[in-house]
């Protein structure tokens, strides 16, 4: 028996497709068989599986379970919840060797997919291609695995509360006056947030915690400012100290301060880094190539070691393991704490750590946001380019800049730093687009940086034109 996947489904960081068009139960079954075969070859036996709130998730879970057991793996079903709850089930249980979450993350409702952990490490890139190769060859072991259901939500919530417990009485007293908003966006984190907030000090207000895979209120992607409108309104109406927002599967966080200003991913990392470097002096802190120069400068100024790395949650997690970094983050709102936690991206845990950082630093989130340098930058700009051209264009740009007097960093695409600031051009690993970003101290500087991006695109035969959507 063999299986061939739609070529668009097996991606760099995970597996994702459109239900009924490029992804369905047969794919889930084949993923289970390949993953179980690889795990058994590596000496593993038991896989935890969970799923998000999408309409299609229970059907895929059933098929995935069939595939895993048919190749001899035992399955621990943890049910519906945020992706980090599945990661927690995999990381905290001694008898579990791997984990798979069925989730479409922040994609539209008709998408779904799979995020995987293999014996405590991210499973991506070549691993995912191997799933496809094995399925096409029918290279699966046979077996008969058992299935059990395990309740982990309550245990997961208690684990999220540990930073509050560790604060001590003074810190908890500071938090008791806090008023915070939480917007789950009808995503899978909703029930966990409802269970968490009554146990936190302070007063908490929740939005859209009922799980609805059609996302009737707004799309659950906190990196798009328009999706934060409801949270901003709640913060203003209730006079809250700050607000938190979550993506569809709870592994990415967004935030607004008490004045309704967005706290972007790299700005959240500035707060977390300031807090952490007081506890772990000299620590390495990782951020992706899209992050502000202000973040890297601040980490260095506070005695930390800033490390710029490639965009992508799997790539960042791997780099953390390699370097022993206790903290990392991305512009997209993935925040990774290995300090007193497991090193995976957990937006609920990041939310708790923001409360704790505010208490330990003895400054409000609004004060912390207000103290940040006022950089002028673009949002992520995306330009449609043929899949076969996107990496070639980046190579052409690198080649043209090899004798440049500016600083050229090619960790992930091309990030060029000069007198006006910096600009970035990189190929998306998940879409047929080039991603650009620029940052300067002045509007005029930003215009000059954008002109450099335009020039490089034009030299490679790409018109900037209308930008591609997310």
C-alpha pair distances (Å), 408 with each of 174, 328, 391, 453: 45, 22, 17, 13
| 215 neighbors 277 (Cβ within 8 angstroms) | no
The C-alpha atoms of residue 66 and residue 267 are separated, in whole angstroms, by 43
221: left (phi over 0), alpha (psi -120 to 50) or beta: beta
Angle between helices 347-361 and 83-92 (to 10 degrees): 90
The C-alpha atoms of residue 179 and residue 440 are separated, in whole angstroms, by 34
Beta strands in 202-304 (DSSP E): 203-207, 242-246, 253-257, 262-263, 284-288
Catalytic one among 34, 56, 57, 105? Answer: 105
Given the DSSP bridges, would you call strands 433-440 and 376-377 parallel, antiparallel or unpaired?
A: antiparallel
Asked if 105 is an active-site residue, the reply is yes
| 323 neighbors 284 (Cβ within 8 angstroms) | yes
Given the DSSP bridges, would you call strands 421-427 and 414-418 parallel, antiparallel or unpaired?
A: antiparallel
C-alpha pair distances (Å), 134 with each of 4, 38, 114, 243: 10, 9, 17, 45
| 39 neighbors 130 (Cβ within 8 angstroms) | no
- Count CB neighbours of 305 within 10 A: 14
Catalytic residue numbers read: 105
């Amino acid at each position: 028996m063999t299986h061939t996947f739609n070529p668009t489904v097996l991606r760099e960081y995970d597996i994702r497709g459109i239900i009924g068009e490029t992804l369905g139960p047969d794919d889930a079954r084949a993923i289970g068989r390949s993953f179980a075969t690889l795990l058994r070859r590596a000496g593993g036996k038991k896989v935890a599986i969970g799923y998000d709130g999408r309409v299609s998730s229970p059907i895929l879970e059933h098929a995935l379970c069939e595939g895993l057991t048919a190749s001899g793996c035992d399955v621990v079903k943890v049910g519906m919840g945020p992706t980090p709850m599945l990661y927690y089930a995999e990381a905290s249980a001694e008898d579990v060797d791997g984990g798979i979450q069925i989730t479409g993350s922040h994609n539209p409702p008709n998408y779904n997919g799979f995020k995987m952990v293999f014996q405590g490490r991210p499973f991506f890139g070549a691993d995912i291609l191997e799933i496809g190769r094995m399925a096409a060859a029918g290279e699966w072991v046979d077996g008969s695995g058992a299935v059990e259901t395990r309740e982990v939500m309550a245990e997961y919530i208690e684990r999220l509360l540990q930073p509050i417990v560790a604060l001590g009485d003074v810190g908890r007293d500071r938090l008791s006056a806090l008023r915070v908003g939480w917007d789950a966006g009808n995503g899978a984190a909703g029930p966990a947030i409802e269970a968490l907030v009554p146990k936190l000090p302070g007063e908490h207000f929740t939005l859209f915690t009922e799980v609805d895979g059609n996302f009737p209120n707004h799309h659950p992607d906190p990196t798009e400012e328009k999706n934060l409108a409801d949270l901003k309104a709640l913060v203003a109406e209730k006079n809250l100290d700050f607000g938190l927002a979550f993506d569809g599967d709870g592994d990415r966080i967004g935030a607004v301060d008490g004045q309704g200003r967005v706290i972007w991913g790299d700005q959240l990392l500035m707060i977390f880094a300031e807090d952490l470097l007081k506890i772990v002096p000299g620590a390495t802190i990782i951020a992706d190539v899209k992050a502000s120069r202000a973040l890297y400068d601040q980490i260095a100024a506070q005695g930390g070691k800033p490390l710029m790395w490639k965009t992508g949650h799997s790539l960042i997690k791997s780099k953390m393991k390699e370097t022993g970094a206790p903290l990392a983050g991305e512009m997209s709102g993935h925040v990774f704490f290995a300090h007193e936690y497991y090193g995976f991206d957990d937006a609920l845990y990041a939310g708790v750590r923001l409360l704790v950082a505010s208490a330990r630093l003895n400054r409000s989130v609004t004060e912390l946001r207000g103290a940040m340098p006022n950089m002028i930058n673009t949002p992520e700009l995306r330009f449609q380019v043929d899949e076969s051209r996107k990496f070639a264009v980046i190579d052409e740009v690198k080649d043209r800049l090899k004798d440049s007097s500016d600083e050229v960093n090619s960790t992930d695409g091309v990030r060029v730093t000069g007198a006006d600031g910096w600009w970035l051009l990189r190929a998306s690993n998940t879409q047929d687009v080039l991603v650009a970003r620029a940052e300067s101290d002045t509007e005029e500087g930003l215009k000059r940086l954008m002109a450099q991006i335009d020039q490089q695109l034009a030299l490679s035969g790409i018109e900037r034109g209308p930008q591609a959507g997310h």
